[in-house]
Structure 1
Amino acid sequence: MQKRWVEQNPVNHNSVISLAKALNINEVLASLLVQRGVHDFEEARRFFRPSLSHLHNPFLMKDMDVAIRRIEKAIGMKEHILIYGDYDVDGTTAVAVLYSFLKRFYNHIGYYIPDRYKEGYGISFQGIDYAKAHQYSLIIALDCGIKSIDKVAYAKAKGIDFIIGDHHTPSEQLPDAIAVLDPKRKDCAYPYKELSGCGIAFKIIQAFTKTNHLDDAEAHQYLDLVAVSIASDIVPVTGENRVLAHFGLKKLNNNPCFGLQALINLSSKVGELNLTDVIFQIGPRINAAGRIEHAKDAVKLLLAKSAEEAKNCCALVDVQNMQRKDFDAKITAEALSLIQESEQLVKKKTTVVYQEDWHKGVIGIVASRLTEKYYRPTIVLTKSNDYVAGSARSVAGFDLYEALLACSDLLEQFGGHKYAAGLTMKAENISALQLRFEEVVAQRIRPELLEPEIQIDAQLNLADITPKFFRILHQFAPFGPENNAPVFLAKNLYVKGMANLVGVNHLKMFVTQEDAPVFDSIGFGLGEYLPQLNRGLPFNACFTIEENVWRERRAIQLNIKGIRLMS
């Protein structure tokens, strides 16, 4: 599928020149900083030199003081505390972080992850019944619960208090919990709104350490898990998340917990891990436990107390991940077939597909793959007990959550973000949802959003890619949503020597420009251009700049995202 090339709107040229002079850097780099809201030396210092002192006071979060008082009361009264979390990476890391921390000071504590198939997403009545049966009088819910009004009321009637620690968008009415920690609350003045669920758990730990005059290192030792949650939950890598990810990656690469080290040992990465590596090599294995069996297997891995224990837990999770891949491939093929066999479905602006025997654990992955293929808002549905469960994914620039809100009368429940959501509904409403979702999206989506795009940050001459340029560019990391690796546009390029195909359809070549050095380049999925490039046709290309490590040899490499041949 061809992609639109969209260049960033020009930034103030005077600001760029001023910043370039103040920092003694290339104007292209200065323009990238201005795009990211950095305008002067002090802001640049803060951007390039993240510090844990930049983290916000956790007590700026609404209800944090109430939450800490309730936890301390529970400890003082020797109450039993249950840490309750969702079954994805964000939820399991959140549970592992808070459970590990509190367990060091207090023994009457347990954790609970709902069964994806028997209980579904979020807080469940079964989970509350479990808490009651095991004498837990305080539940701390992480990465879920912001909409669980009926469940919290049910728990309250049984004498169980709730602290909600969530980061999803709340409804107008909040649960009647002792404390509701969510930066997205309208009445919450916390300066940063985009923390992950595990990030909320970290803030609870931060608040507890401050109250009890503990060393900050007591909280910071969990930053490797926080970084994994930030990467896997695709939250913005800006502000506080950027600081947490920066230091979390340092710990992940130098001194990770036993469970994460076992997962790293399975990865194929050479050199240091970045957030993208976490997304593709660590996150899927943690997620696989909850998708195939039960997410408690992932929590056990993350809580492992020795390398041997972690290795054994990791072996189980890796087997589950291989099973997940098999389900993923089979269901994706079936879903694509459903669409391709219907001319009507192919022409729609949305995809809503249902098969009652699809594995619930992988429908989110399948939704992502269908979105990538047809590039339109997508919902994949399957039967789940007496209901239908669904996972939804969106395209860049379109608010999926708001679209589902317009369909909420057809749903039993739903929740999520702008680009990803989960839902539960009755089977008899599937046809109505297919019609309504198409109608809502067709009315609201701009036509250009249905065509994938490559966002170009700046034009660049290859001669400007010096070691100094790359060193400074490298300091823009960690890269992720809203701080993506900059994409550059270079014109009038040509291949030096001959381009080759590697893998299935990937271009491997040396690229240059008049009066510029030659750069090793890789273009994934761009093999169709091989004949023209080997005939010597000049071309324009957009690309990111990265370091390629091969047998201890390090070299700057262009990762080419798009090619346009010049006539």
Structure 2
Amino acid sequence: MIDKRWIYHPEFTSEQTQTTTELAEALKINTALATLLVQRGISDFEESRLFFRPDLTHLHDPFLMQDMDIAVKRLAEAVTNGEKILVYGDYDVDGTTSVTLFYGFLQKIYDKLDYYIPDRYNEGYGVSWQSIDWAQENGFTLIVTLDCGIKSVDKVEEAKKRGIDFIICDHHRPGDELPPAVAVLDPKRNDCAYPYKELTGCGVGFKFLQAYCIAEGIDQNILFEYLDLLVVSIAADIVPITGENRILSYYGLLRLNSAPRPGIKALIKIAGMAGVLDITNVVFGLGPRINAAGRIKHAKEAVRLLLSEEELEADEFAQEINRHNSDRKNFDSSITEEALLMIENDAWFTEAKSTVLYKEDWHKGVIGIVASRCIEKYHRPTIILTQSHGKAAGSARSVPGFDVYEAIEECADLLEQFGGHTFAAGLTLPIQNVEAFRKRFNEIVSSRIQPEQLVPMINIDLSLDLESITTKFYNILRQMGPFGPGNMTPLFESKYVSIEGMPVIMKEKHIKFNVKQKGSATFTAIGFGMSHFYTELVNGRPFSICYNLEENNFRDKKTLQLFLKDIKLH
């Protein structure tokens, strides 16, 4: 097991300490909770109120986004003139939820439209040549792209020659040249003054429709009914849950838990998800199932499910998608095993500062997941490649603090195409370039990555005495959600705790025990994958723990328990 670094929040300045004291008094909460708020940039009662009670009225004016007025005008023109509109989205969760939201909303007021999602394997990422041919053959004169299109300069140019206009809604980094679309909506454009830059593709599509509602006098509450889709995109795309994303997530989760659309309701049921859903449930329960359609068969199936209005039909679609997810899990498991063996059996791979693996028969739909699994074992930037249409195509994942996109960009002369974010990217290259790419990529990573970035880290919010943990403490803590990137679930450290009774090993790899400190109540602690600590704990070595605080509901009896992230033996 790789030892983890415990990283502590920087010590407060005297000014921050004073703010913490004042906030604790104003809100009538203890200092630990006030500290968590100040760590999140909250300094007074009003900011606390907005944090604890997000409001849709605090969303930014969509017309602040560059080209929004042009996009709304072109869409209104298409509706007025009875043009055929094609809603085009990527095949992942963000793309399929985007298409469902945009198409689902627009079809309530307009019927000359259809949607198109490229085949992951035959067409690839972004706008495809096949889709332009299909749009022309079927008489479409306006294509709205969602979660893709920002780099499709040549495709958009060709479509323009054929009399097809594009409105691009994307959230990826633009290249040096923007596509010649009627409008390009992307908050990451250098010339875009939109205040919030971290929207998902679905979020950009939502802002477009919000602007359209404002311009056309349509009740925005109709659009807000689609927030259950938007929160799924936010969770699955691992974007920061700050600013607008936090407001949209808050209301999206309310809808998800009170009145989810039939397709999502069917997925929740078939995934066996019970209780109140949060971002984590969406990431691990709903996201993979929606993604599985595009990975194993075709993402259109996910859109059909999400658009379903009849429960019986939704249940049938959900069962089919769940089968795809089971297949995905099997591929994921076997390919991960192969990949880890390749690393373990090759000295060069073991010593390298990065991982680049290629095998021609790996399933393209799960290589991103496999890259993440490899990082769990070998904490370093990882790229997994497989053969696709005679090329090597792959997915990259990174470790905190290292920009994998920039490293790939430095190998551009060896690649045919690439795109993505700081921590995740996709790429295609000639098979004969794989070895040269592996060496160059490793040289770049080796020259830039810091030694500490190769060690997994745990960011601890604050040290907490177990006696501070009460039901009231937990109830206030829970209201700091939705938790996710940018507003992570608070992680606590408790020092020099002791075991009550004997630890129990569960399923040969997990550990469960009762823990306390002097003067505190006894709490149950659970550590997944931590059975290797058993001997040391039984021998009575002193130890500290870091953990998230959770509520366990067993047979209608609620108790607080500690969900361990690591144990430090002294």
Per the shorter chain, which TM-score range? over 0.9
Q: Distance in 2 between matches of 1:345 and 1:123?
A: 36
> Per-residue displacement from partner, 1:334-375 (whole Å, max 9, x unpaired)?
111111110111110000000111111111111111111101
1:546 aligns with 2:547: no
The secondary structure found in structure 1 opposite 2:512 is: strand
Residue identity in the other structure for 1:492: Y
Aligned match of 1:4: 5
Aligned match of 1:217: 221
Q: Distance in 1 between matches of 2:244 and 2:359?
A: 41
Q: Distance in 2 between matches of 1:134 and 1:547?
A: 54
Q: Distance in 2 between matches of 1:151 and 1:428?
A: 27
Aligned match of 2:493: 489
Match of 2:140 among 129, 136, 155: 136
CA contact (8 A) 2:270 2:319 kept: no
Q: CA deviation at 1:533?
A: 1.9
Q: Distance in 2 between matches of 1:185 and 1:553?
A: 51
The secondary structure found in structure 2 opposite 1:379 is: strand
1:561 aligns with 2:565: yes
Q: Distance in 1 between matches of 2:160 and 2:376?
A: 44
Q: CA deviation at 1:504?
A: 3.4
Match of 2:99 among 95, 102, 125: 95
Matched length? 566
CA contact (8 A) 1:270 1:549 kept: no
Q: Distance in 2 between matches of 1:311 and 1:504?
A: 36
Q: CA deviation at 1:214?
A: 1.7
Q: Distance in 1 between matches of 2:298 and 2:55?
A: 37
Q: Distance in 2 between matches of 1:426 and 1:47?
A: 49
Q: CA RMSD in A?
A: 1.0
Q: CA deviation at 1:267?
A: 2.1
Aligned match of 2:319: 315
Q: Distance in 1 between matches of 2:66 and 2:426?
A: 26
1:15 aligns with 2:19: yes
Q: CA deviation at 1:487?
A: 0.6
1:201-350 to 2 correspondence within 5 Å?
Answer: 201-350=205-354
1:113 aligns with 2:117: yes
TM normalised by structure 1 equals 0.98
Aligned match of 1:190: 194
1:424 aligns with 2:425: no
The secondary structure found in structure 2 opposite 1:193 is: coil
Q: CA deviation at 1:313?
A: 0.7
Aligned match of 1:475: 479
The secondary structure found in structure 2 opposite 1:364 is: helix
Percent identity of equivalent pairs: 53
Q: CA deviation at 1:534?
A: 2.7
Structure 2 gaps, min length 5: none
The secondary structure found in structure 2 opposite 1:382 is: strand
> Per-residue displacement from partner, 1:150-174 (whole Å, max 9, x unpaired)?
1111111111100000001111211
> Per-residue displacement from partner, 1:97-126 (whole Å, max 9, x unpaired)?
000000011110000000011001111111
Q: Distance in 1 between matches of 2:541 and 2:357?
A: 43
The secondary structure found in structure 2 opposite 1:383 is: strand
Aligned match of 2:161: 157
The secondary structure found in structure 1 opposite 2:323 is: helix
Q: Distance in 1 between matches of 2:451 and 2:534?
A: 31
Q: CA deviation at 1:412?
A: 1.2
Match of 2:455 among 437, 451, 457: 451
Q: CA deviation at 1:537?
A: 3.1
Q: Distance in 2 between matches of 1:18 and 1:417?
A: 40
Match of 2:540 among 536, 542, 552: 536
Aligned match of 1:375: 379
Q: Distance in 2 between matches of 1:524 and 1:460?
A: 21
TM normalised by structure 2 equals 0.98
Aligned match of 2:174: 170
Q: CA deviation at 1:414?
A: 1.0
Residue identity in the other structure for 2:34: A
Q: What stretches of structure 1 move > 6 A for 4+ residues in a row?
A: none
